[in-house]
Copies of this chain bind each other. A is one copy, B any other.
């Protein structure tokens, strides 16, 4: 939090405590909705409600969408359904839908019933779409005109429109089918009597409502768009996605990948209860834990190889080396693939190319690491065979780890499971187990050769 905002937070807290209403009202009027949202995030539960009661529905409608979803949820729980429905009525439709989506179904229905019919219908329309798709992030408020209108008439229409943040004018035919696009700048620059048809760009980059939001973000980024029109299957314009929604999508998708790779979830940042956070993380940890029991039984199997206790401990000393290196290489390969898939840099068509590349990189690093660790083992443990076993195992384990790390996310993607899941504890645990299996088998085999 910036110092200026920190100061305002203190002032507001003071006013709330002393019930200094006129002062508080002035402070709120002077604050940007996004700042108020941040202040609300930092207030206690009762303070939040007290502050919200000092905002009119229009102001509240601007502030609520900017809050952290965890704090907002708490605040919404304390609001009466009638008050919330008044606020949602004046909120941009897409934000209203987002908020309703997070409510219990029962309450969502009740609030929709309380809302003005027209607004409720608009919101309901959006609620039909999956929230991770173009339909789920679009707003149905767009500015569309017919192609036979001229520039002067279009500007007149624009003047009367109450849609905020217009970047493009969409041109539609009489059935509402998207036919062209025109930037605001181009509209103003053209002579007044030109028809829109003449100056519009007919190669409109558009998406249908079912397109995944990640793909939407990649399109907006690639073509440097400030808004992207959304059409239904009949090419009828149904909404637009603005670039500020895309900013949120990119950040959200990156966070999702990062948190999944660590075996946790963005949710936990928003949750104040450490028990619930532990519950989010535990499934992955318990899975890992069970994996390590398999690792333990592989180590127990070393007992069956007939070697003296000295040599055995000398070999077991390198277990962390094998597992840590395999784990690291596996995470590197899977990170490259997960991010490559998310940003569109890697696609499934080039699966083999990616795989062979990662295997070769893995083998190269396995060679380097095997050589180093084998040398150290040889010098330290005094037995040549330990050096050899460690070196060969390290090389093999690293190469296999790179292969698993690359294949796991690609396979998940093919089966339409989020590949990010693969890049975390899953790959590390699998690589621990395969690394130890390799180590154990090579030990048994190489020792049987020399004896």
- Chain B residues, CB < 8 A from A38: 222
Q: Which residues of A in the span 292-335 have a Cβ within 8 Å of any Cβ on B?
A: 292-293, 295-297, 299-300, 302-303, 309-310, 312-314, 316-321, 323-325, 327-329, 331-332, 335
Taking a contact as CB atoms under 8 Å apart, the answer to whether A285 and B329 are in contact is yes
Other-chain residue from B275, B293, B340, B360 in contact with A376 (beta carbon distance below 8 A): B293
A76 at the B interface (CB under 8 A): no
CA distance A251 to B164 in the complex (A): 26
Taking a contact as CB atoms under 8 Å apart, the answer to whether B184 and A281 are in contact is no
A250's nearest neighbour on chain B, judged by CB, is B250
A243 at the B interface (CB under 8 A): yes
What 0/1 pattern do residues 262 to 303 of A give for CB contact below 8 A with B? 111000110000110110011011101101110111011011
Task: From known contacts A165-B226, A281-B365, A436-B320, infer whether A325 and B292 are also in contact, taking CB-CB under 8 Å.
Answer: yes
A330's nearest neighbour on chain B, judged by CB, is B262
- Chain B residues, CB < 8 A from A6: 349
- Chain B residues, CB < 8 A from A393: none
Task: From known contacts A299-B313, A328-B288, A328-B425, infer whether A364 and B250 are also in contact, taking CB-CB under 8 Å.
Answer: no
Of A79-87, A232-240, A253-261, A442-450, the stretch lying at the interface with chain B is: A253-261
A344's nearest neighbour on chain B, judged by CB, is B1
What 0/1 pattern do residues 348 to 392 of A give for CB contact below 8 A with B? 010000000100110011001100110010000000000000000
**Closest approach, in angstroms, between the C-beta of A138 and any C-beta of chain B?**
16
Task: Tell which of A310, A357, A365 has the most Cβ of chain B within 10 Å.
Answer: A365
A193 at the B interface (CB under 8 A): no
- Chain B residues, CB < 8 A from A222: 34, 38, 66
Taking a contact as CB atoms under 8 Å apart, the answer to whether A335 and B264 are in contact is yes
Taking a contact as CB atoms under 8 Å apart, the answer to whether A361 and B220 are in contact is no
CA distance A432 to B320 in the complex (A): 8
Taking a contact as CB atoms under 8 Å apart, the answer to whether A278 and B329 are in contact is no
A contact residues, total (Cβ < 8 Å): 110
A434 at the B interface (CB under 8 A): no
A18 at the B interface (CB under 8 A): no
CA distance A357 to B281 in the complex (A): 14
**Closest approach, in angstroms, between the C-beta of A189 and any C-beta of chain B?**
5
A159 at the B interface (CB under 8 A): yes
A158 at the B interface (CB under 8 A): yes
CA distance A38 to B429 in the complex (A): 37
- Chain B residues, CB < 8 A from A292: 318, 320-321, 324-325, 373
A28 at the B interface (CB under 8 A): no
Taking a contact as CB atoms under 8 Å apart, the answer to whether B226 and A288 are in contact is no
Other-chain residue from B275, B314, B332, B373 in contact with A262 (beta carbon distance below 8 A): B332
CA distance A314 to B386 in the complex (A): 21
What 0/1 pattern do residues 153 to 184 of A give for CB contact below 8 A with B? 00100110000111100000000000000011
- Chain B residues, CB < 8 A from A203: 32
Taking a contact as CB atoms under 8 Å apart, the answer to whether A317 and B300 are in contact is yes
Taking a contact as CB atoms under 8 Å apart, the answer to whether A428 and B269 are in contact is no
Other-chain residue from B285, B320, B343 in contact with A325 (beta carbon distance below 8 A): B285
A10 at the B interface (CB under 8 A): no
Task: From known contacts A286-B369, A293-B321, A349-B1, infer whether A274 and B335 are also in contact, taking CB-CB under 8 Å.
Answer: no
A260's nearest neighbour on chain B, judged by CB, is B335
Task: Tell which of A247, A255, A376 has the most Cβ of chain B within 10 Å.
Answer: A247
Other-chain residue from B159, B312, B321, B331 in contact with A188 (beta carbon distance below 8 A): B159
Q: What are 18 A-B pairs with beta-carbon distances under 8 A?
A: A34-B224, A38-B222, A158-B189, A164-B185, A165-B183, A226-B244, A243-B243, A251-B254, A258-B258, A262-B336, A263-B331, A264-B335, A281-B365, A286-B368, A288-B324, A292-B318, A320-B432, A328-B428
Name 18 extra pairs, CB < 8 A, besides A243-B244, A259-B335. Answer: A32-B203, A155-B188, A158-B188, A165-B185, A247-B250, A258-B339, A269-B340, A274-B361, A285-B329, A292-B324, A295-B317, A295-B324, A296-B317, A297-B317, A312-B313, A320-B323, A323-B323, A324-B428
Shortest 3 CB-CB contacts between residues of A and residues of B:
A254-B254, A292-B321, A262-B335
